[in-house]
Structure 1
Amino acid sequence: MDFPELLKVIFLGVVEGITEWLPISSTGHMLLIDAFVPLNMSESFKEMFMVVIQFGAIIAVVTMFWDRVFPFQFKKRPTIKKEVISLWGKIVVSCVPTGILGILFDDFLEQYFGTAQTIAIMLIVYGLAFIVVETWNKKRTPAVNSTKEISYNTAVFFGVFQALAMIPGTSRSGSTIIGALLIGVSRATAAEFSFFLAIPTMLGASVFKLIKFGFSFSTVELQALLIGMTVAFAVSLLVLKLIMKYIQKHDFKIFGWYRIILGIVVLILFKTKV
């Protein structure tokens, strides 16, 4: 791999590590970057790379929340953490809508919605949604203040909103957080459950893309994938800590304004490029 391509891969890893956990659409950012600073790789590899690079981010969230997501405890004798098993049951329920729709409509969504124009529109639409929902939510008292209080009905609601994020530019975390705020879940709880929900969702998407691509990597392709995932892992660890501190005292409006501004910029660039 030559140096310019290495820099592109590192940059994409940094962008993935930052945007995966912020409600600003990691896939949208990755696709837009590749539109203007493309990797010198095959289209089939890039399609797979943009998803599988998220595996580094998955490892980061598992590492950071290990005690919260690992269901076994080893002290004097092995024991099962019932609250963690319950949490995973709700996570699995939340993944069902995305899993079904992903299998049925993955190719369709990539073909018709993976465009800069669609990404820009979704950035703006969900940016406005964040501002409106946070303004409305300001005077409300959250009804759910911890992941333990999330019911299976609430988990289904999370899953439906996560499924909306299959359209590039939406943001998986952004869509689930907006849905959670609408039904009275606190910001911190909404963000945490969104992070946990990312583990099976992103793992499943990564495995699906790997199987679809095949495992016959060239040396350069394998290097790019491993470097991208490693960078995404390191950056994700930092971003996860920062975002959890941030939302203790702030709302998500700043991300709404960012999305709107970025969406407008993308629309302008798209029209200019065309």
Structure 2
Amino acid sequence: MESIVKAAVMGLVEGVTEFLPISSTGHLILAGDILRFGGPLAATFEIFIQLGAVLAVVWFYREDLSRQLRTLASDTGVRRLWFNVVVAFVPAAVVGVLLHRWIKAVLFSPVVVAVSLFAGGIALLLVERRRHAEQVHELRAVSTRQALVVGLAQTLSLVPGVSRSAASIVGGLLSGLDRTTATAFSFYLSIPTLGLATLFELATSLSGLGAGDLLLLGVGLVVAFASAFVAVGWLLRYVATHDLRPFGWYRILIGLLVLLWFER
């Protein structure tokens, strides 16, 4: 029972933090250490429950995605949107494949995560100090150049603690998207980015799991799905009328907490 509760808590942490610009990796590392959720299962578990977050985005946008699928052949706006999603996806995918082993071997440490959280918080505060030229107010109007800027920004999230959501949203803001469009484009971009990255990781990890681990994986996935679904809707409502500075201050605080916790 204790393991199930821990799996549920880890799923909740993943779901809440995956799409907020605060780094799910940093929070999962901290939560895993506090809960003593480790061992051979932990790494695969943290990867697997990302599927819950991806499915939450798909379910949240299910009506739009269904309509887009039906009109893909006839609607140039839909084709342009998904072409731009692919353009934004490619940079992080290429860099991630090329540097995958090095990133896992060198960068996955509490100190790197703490510094990334702290630096990312400062970056959010600085970005919010400048005036944004909001030129684009809907997903279909995102240009290929803007998509590429978002994609290049997303490559920074390969560093643990940076946050894929924060990097892609900030890239969108700096390229001229309004907050809601930048956030929605980040959510769309998460479908191929997190989906394929998760499948890539699982292909090399699932062989070491036993039958008894499936229940924990299922619990984590379901909780991550439910909490991510709520988080996606909340963030879209939040950014419509608020800026990202509270997340910046929070990242600074949690970065210091991670550093103090693991250096104790």
Query: In the alignment, residue 139 of structure 2 is paired with which amino acid?
Result: T
Q: Give distance in 2, aligned partners of 1:235 and 1:23.
A: 15
Q: Any idea what SS the aligned residue of 1:73 has?
A: helix
Say whether residues 1:68 and 2:60 are aligned partners: no
1:163-204 deviation line (CA, Å, top 9, x unaligned): 110111000010111122122211111100000000001111
Are the aligned partners of 1:176 and 1:194 in contact in 2 as well (CA < 8 Å)? Answer: yes
- Superposed, 1:2-21 pairs within 5 Å as 3-21=1-19
Q: 1:234 to 1:182 in 2, by over 3 A?
A: same
Match of 2:251 among 243, 248, 259: 259
Q: 1:261 to 1:149 in 2, by over 3 A?
A: same
Map of 1:86 onto structure 2: 80
Map of 1:53 onto structure 2: 49
- Superposed, 1:21-170 pairs within 5 Å as 21-42=19-40, 45-70=41-66, 71-73=68-70, 80-137=74-131, 140-170=132-162
Q: Give distance in 2, aligned partners of 1:56 and 1:19.
A: 12
Are the aligned partners of 2:32 and 2:38 in contact in 1 as well (CA < 8 Å)? Answer: no
Aligned residues: 263
Q: Give distance in 1, aligned partners of 2:12 and 2:162.
A: 20
Q: Give distance in 2, aligned partners of 1:144 and 1:25.
A: 26
Q: Give distance in 2, aligned partners of 1:6 and 1:260.
A: 31
Q: 1:41 to 1:80 in 2, by over 3 A?
A: farther
Q: Any idea what SS the aligned residue of 1:165 has?
A: helix
TM superposition shift of 1:49: 1.9
User: Which is richer in helix?
Assistant: 2
Q: Give distance in 2, aligned partners of 1:95 and 1:141.
A: 24
Q: Give distance in 2, aligned partners of 1:84 and 1:56.
A: 25
TM superposition shift of 1:48: 2.3
Are the aligned partners of 1:72 and 1:81 in contact in 2 as well (CA < 8 Å)? Answer: no
Map of 1:247 onto structure 2: 239
Q: Give distance in 1, aligned partners of 2:4 and 2:113.
A: 26
Q: Give distance in 1, aligned partners of 2:183 and 2:57.
A: 12
Are the aligned partners of 1:57 and 1:233 in contact in 2 as well (CA < 8 Å)? Answer: yes
Q: Any idea what SS the aligned residue of 1:22 has?
A: coil
When the two structures are superposed, what TM-score results if normalisation uses the length of structure 2? 0.94
Q: Give distance in 1, aligned partners of 2:159 and 2:202.
A: 20
Q: Give distance in 1, aligned partners of 2:87 and 2:63.
A: 21
Map of 2:193 onto structure 1: 201
TM superposition shift of 1:215: 4.1
1:227-249 deviation line (CA, Å, top 9, x unaligned): 11111111111111111111111
Query: In the alignment, residue 81 of structure 2 is paired with which amino acid?
Result: L
TM superposition shift of 1:37: 2.1
Say whether residues 1:236 and 2:228 are aligned partners: yes
Q: Give distance in 1, aligned partners of 2:100 and 2:26.
A: 15
User: Unpaired runs of 5+ in structure 1?
Assistant: none
Q: Give distance in 1, aligned partners of 2:174 and 2:189.
A: 18
Are the aligned partners of 1:98 and 1:160 in contact in 2 as well (CA < 8 Å)? Answer: yes
Aligned-pair identity (%): 33
